[in-house]
A and B are shown apart, each in its own frame.
Chain A
Amino acid sequence: MFIPHTTQERTDMLKAIGLEHVSDLFIDIPAEHRYPDIKLPKGISEMEVMDHIHELSSANESLEDLICFLGAGAYRHYIPAVVDGIIQDGSFYSAYTPYQPEISQGTLQAIYEYQSLIAALTGMEASNASHYDGATAAAEACILAYHQYRGKRTKFILSRNLHPHYQQVIRTYLEGFEDTNIVVVDGYALADFQAEIDNNTALVYVQYPDFLGKVIEFDDLVTMTHQAGALFAVSANPIALALLKSPAEFGADIVTGEGQPLGIPLSYGGPYLGFFATRKELIRKIAGRIVGETVDQDGKRGYVLTLTAREQHIRREKATSNICTNQGLIALAATVYLSALGKNGLIHVAESCYQKAHYAARQISQIPGYKVDTDELFFHEFVVSCPSPVREINEHLLSHQILGGLDLSSLYPDLKNPMLLAVTESNDKTQIDYLCEVLSEARHV
């Protein structure tokens, strides 16, 4: 199937090598370990594999069957057909890292456009070709800050409302760096940050909108951070940025985030896309691939991987990150998504999310027993305080084909039966009204 050799060809090739049997190719492997028994079934046909695949995929209850109000870092948005139409082109997906620019201009220009779109969206001046996901992008931002101060500032201040997975990944990554210290600040009271930010602080990290959906104005916190000589990083939702003031406007030094909302299927959590943008002064400290514009020998415009001397294949143990690839194909999907929606499409999606989420919040807060804190500004996600444990409410919702919000009770034991609900443009008014109806019933379950 994928091995085209005929018996005759195989014989001819072995003869050219000077061997008799294929197994002679492996005589340098210790005999007692050669050709072990592999207890897996024998190969089958494509048709049979696809049967297995269908069997497994249909054992799931997917969002084709369920109405989704679950978010918490991965969001259901409509993905226009044009996105998949383009990334299914083998010229893109069966190529590799563009090491040879003369025959990789398609990939290189697409990455350059991706970088430009991320810069435009975040308001920053430089972007890399992407990281694995929003969590690892956040961890790489911490490492950037560590190196920016040459290890002399070792304190990293994280907002409690930075995605819990991101906090965990930051902890895993920073463990390898001497004496680093992670401090988590609950809430946004300036006094609480003031108590922590000092001249040993490398970075302050917040999420925008935060993990609970809230949109916070960070201007004063940024000023305080910069006064202490530290960097300010923001993990942002890219769709929200079409509606909200950009992190550049309030002075962020680094903007990272999860690019999944930009036309990437939920796919059970991956592959996603970590975007990473900075002010131009920090560009040399960014880990990962960066594409730059140049010309060829005839003066024609073209693109190359640039600043490669900072990477692991040249600097080896002195490189600041071991990252090799980016999320190439996923970054391409985001590029197509942003190009196809364009400025007006993205603003419309962001406004739909905002409006529908606010309608849902208002309707839910009118159901007796449910409370929504609508005092603070939010984007498309909000916390509902439920009359009974969220697990029970969610079971009831699921029995009505509704995927409820994330149960926050173990993460936020200080809140009462908290459920984090997300509403996007993919939810229509009928779905929201139905959610309210079933939530209302759930009080009596």
Chain B
Amino acid sequence: MKFPSELKYTETDEWVLVEGNIAIIGLTDFAQDQLSDLVYFESLVEVGDVIEVETQLGTVESVKSAGDVLAPVSGEVIEINTDLEDEPEIVNADPYVDGWMFKIKMANSSELDDLMSADEYMEQCEE
């Protein structure tokens, strides 16, 4: 299982990649493994929506379980990975690159300080 060190993590299993003032968000390898094969991805927000921390951005479903994607940071939704609507299994195959879900233009980058490092997140997963 991979926990790339350049990413930030949430307690609810999202990862964040920061590129300037843009946060790219997806579900972690651990989350996709727990959910097993995804059959559905739905965005609950639209490009242009302004969202708060923990706003539900999207939802995913596998055969036997379902999960939410929550916003790790506040800001404006600028892009949604619509490829996942047709091929949610990308998240299983490549959770950190092709499986990205949302791009958010951050309103307050200090919110990143509340997120976990790879080591901290790995520790949480082991519990």
A interface with B by C-beta (< 8 Å): 150, 284, 307-310, 314-315, 318
Contact = CB atoms under 8 A, between A and B. Distances in A.
Interface stretch (B17-25, B61-69, B110-118): B61-69
Given A309-B61, A310-B61, A315 B40 contact: no
A309 B44 contact: no
B40 A284 contact: yes
Contacts of A308: 63-64
A100 to B, nearest CB: 14
Nearest to A306: B63
Contacts of B61: 307, 309-310
Contact of B62 (A150, A284, A309, A315): A309
A150 B62 CA distance: 21
17 contacts: A150-B44, A284-B40, A284-B42, A307-B61, A308-B63, A309-B39, A309-B40, A309-B64, A309-B65, A309-B66, A310-B61, A310-B66, A314-B64, A314-B65, A315-B66, A318-B66, A318-B68
A307 B64 CA distance: 8
Given A309-B65, A314-B65, 13 more contacts: A284-B40, A284-B42, A307-B61, A309-B61, A309-B62, A309-B63, A309-B66, A310-B61, A310-B66, A314-B64, A314-B66, A315-B66, A318-B66
Contacts of B42: 284
Interface in B26-61: 39-40, 42, 44, 61
Contacts of B63: 308-309
B58 to A, nearest CB: 12
Nearest to B59: A318
A313 to B, nearest CB: 10
Interface of B: 39-40, 42, 44, 61-66, 68
> Which 5 pairs from chain A and chain B are nearest by CB?
A309-B61, A309-B66, A315-B66, A314-B66, A309-B65
Contacts of A307: 61
Contacts of B65: 309, 314
A307 B42 CA distance: 14
A318 B40 CA distance: 16
Contacts of A309: 39-40, 61-66
Nearest to B45: A150
Contacts of A284: 40, 42
Nearest to B44: A150
A314 B63 CA distance: 11
A289 to B, nearest CB: 15
A315 B40 CA distance: 14
Contacts of A315: 66
Contacts of A314: 64-66
Nearest to A319: B66
A309 B61 CA distance: 6
B6 to A, nearest CB: 32
Nearest to B38: A309
A269 B65 CA distance: 37
A236 to B, nearest CB: 29
Contacts of B40: 284, 309
A318 B11 CA distance: 20
Contacts of B62: 309
Contacts of B66: 309-310, 314-315, 318
Contacts of A150: 44
Nearest to B67: A309
Nearest to A304: B63
Nearest to A316: B66
Nearest to A285: B42
A124 to B, nearest CB: 21
Contacts of A318: 66, 68
Contacts of B39: 309
A314 B59 CA distance: 13
A315 B64 CA distance: 10
Nearest to A150: B44
A284 B61 CA distance: 11
A310 B42 CA distance: 12
A309 B65 CA distance: 5
Nearest to B63: A309
A303 to B, nearest CB: 15
A142 to B, nearest CB: 20
A294 to B, nearest CB: 11
A309 B68 CA distance: 12
Nearest to B42: A284
A308 B62 CA distance: 9
A304 to B, nearest CB: 9
A307 B68 CA distance: 16
A49 B65 CA distance: 47
A99 to B, nearest CB: 12
Nearest to B64: A309
Chain A CB within 10 Å — which of B39, B42, B61 has the most?
B61
Contacts of B68: 318
Nearest to B60: A309
Of listed B39, B64, B66, residue having the most chain A CB within 10 A:
B66
Contacts of A310: 61, 66
